[in-house]
């Protein structure tokens, strides 16, 4: 059996890392577009607005997609749809769906929309980048840029020398694909990625964010995970660093968020998942535990909000 994560499980780590490092994402994958964006103005993520567009469109299954409001150099306001497909198999209607997202967003906001795609599947020949048709002289020709992560297998030296966080992201993703049936090799590649993070001198917060991404993609069975942790502790002793405690705390936080998400969907349905964007901002482990427990007793989402919006001194938390 393989412990390689199904495509939908790539969703959360990719969404999080994209939002944390959006400028670096654009610089790494779409440098020409990056050069046209005014980065002195903070990008705005429009997750709720995109959910409404998708719901109206009835486009079915979604993986990773983001709608980001940015400003171009020169003052022109633009809306950018960054649509990431991280999946292990071909999807026949992908280009049509990209077209549907694009025109529906344009129709709603009357702003130019750039649809950008990153494909993380394992089929080298699947590269959809166009949708269109021609009928009675009426022609539609929608084209969008596509990044294929598999192409970076031929550019490993470039990835290894890059300090852009998405070099690590791509290396972890490729390692997940390569080691889906070889757990021992996966442990070794995971350790190599961690060593690289420590040796490149990333800031502590960046190390923790990227550690969480690597850990999520490169899952190991319990015995190898224990070996991995021991080797990381030895590595930290050599580097005179100590990230593993915070790393494990972050892992517990992610597990709590997963439990909350499941509880919300089971009790209130998929509509309730809209508050996950609020909950994902919470850092307090005990508060997240209180939220997870509260799902059992509350009757509405507003009652649940009262738990995590209440001042800490007024909230009864359980360890």
181-214 tens-digit pLDDT: 888 999 999 999 988 888 887 888 888 888 888 8
Residue 270 has pLDDT above 70, yes or no: yes
**What residue spans define the domains of the chain?**
7-151, 152-247, 254-314
Q: Report the candidate in 67, 65, 72, 84 with the shortest Cα–Cα distance to residue 33.
A: 72
In terms of pTM, does the model score above 0.75?
A: no
Give the burial string for 271-283 (b: 16+ CB within 10 Å, else e).
ebeebbeebbeee
49-90 tens-digit pLDDT: 777 776 655 544 445 678 888 888 886 666 776 776 655 567
pLDDT for 88 equals 57
Averaged pLDDT for residues 243-251: 61
pLDDT for 229 equals 81
Q: How many helices (H) and strands (E) does the chain have?
A: 14, 7
Tokens (6 digits) for 81: 């749809």
């Amino acid at each position: 059996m393989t412990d390689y994560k199904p495509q939908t499980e790539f969703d959360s780590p990719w969404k999080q890392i994209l939002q944390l490092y959006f400028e670096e994402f654009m610089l790494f994958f779409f440098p020409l577009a990056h050069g046209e964006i005014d980065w002195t103005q903070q990008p705005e993520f429009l997750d709720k607005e995109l959910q409404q567009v998708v719901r109206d469109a009835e486009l079915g299954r979604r993986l990773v997609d983001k709608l980001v409001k940015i400003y171009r150099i020169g003052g022109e306001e633009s809306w950018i749809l960054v649509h990431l497909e991280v999946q292990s198999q071909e999807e026949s209607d992908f280009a049509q769906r990209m077209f549907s997202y694009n025109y529906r967003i344009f129709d709603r906001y009357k702003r130019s929309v750039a649809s950008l795609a990153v494909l993380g599947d394992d089929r080298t020949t699947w590269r959809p980048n166009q949708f269109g048709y021609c009928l009675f002289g009426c022609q539609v020709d929608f084209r969008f840029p596509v990044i294929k992560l598999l192409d970076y297998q031929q550019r490993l030296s470039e990835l290894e020398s890059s300090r852009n966080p998405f070099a690590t992201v791509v290396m972890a993703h490729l390692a997940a694909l390569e080691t889906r049936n070889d757990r021992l090799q996966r442990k070794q590649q995971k350790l190599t990625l961690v060593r690289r993070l420590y040796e490149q001198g990333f800031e502590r917060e960046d190390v923790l964010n990227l550690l969480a991404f690597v850990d999520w993609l490169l899952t190991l069975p319990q015995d190898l995970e224990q070996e991995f942790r021991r080797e990381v502790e030895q590595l930290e002793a050599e580097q005179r660093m100590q990230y593993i405690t915070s790393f494990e705390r972050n892992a517990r936080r992610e597990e709590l968020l997963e439990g909350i998400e499941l509880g919300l969907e089971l009790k209130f349905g998929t509509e309730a998942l809209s508050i996950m964007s609020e909950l994902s901002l919470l850092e307090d482990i005990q508060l997240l535990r209180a939220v997870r427990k509260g799902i059992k007793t509350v009757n509405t989402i507003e009652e649940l909000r009262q738990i995590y919006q209440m001042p800490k001194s007024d909230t009864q938390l359980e360890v």
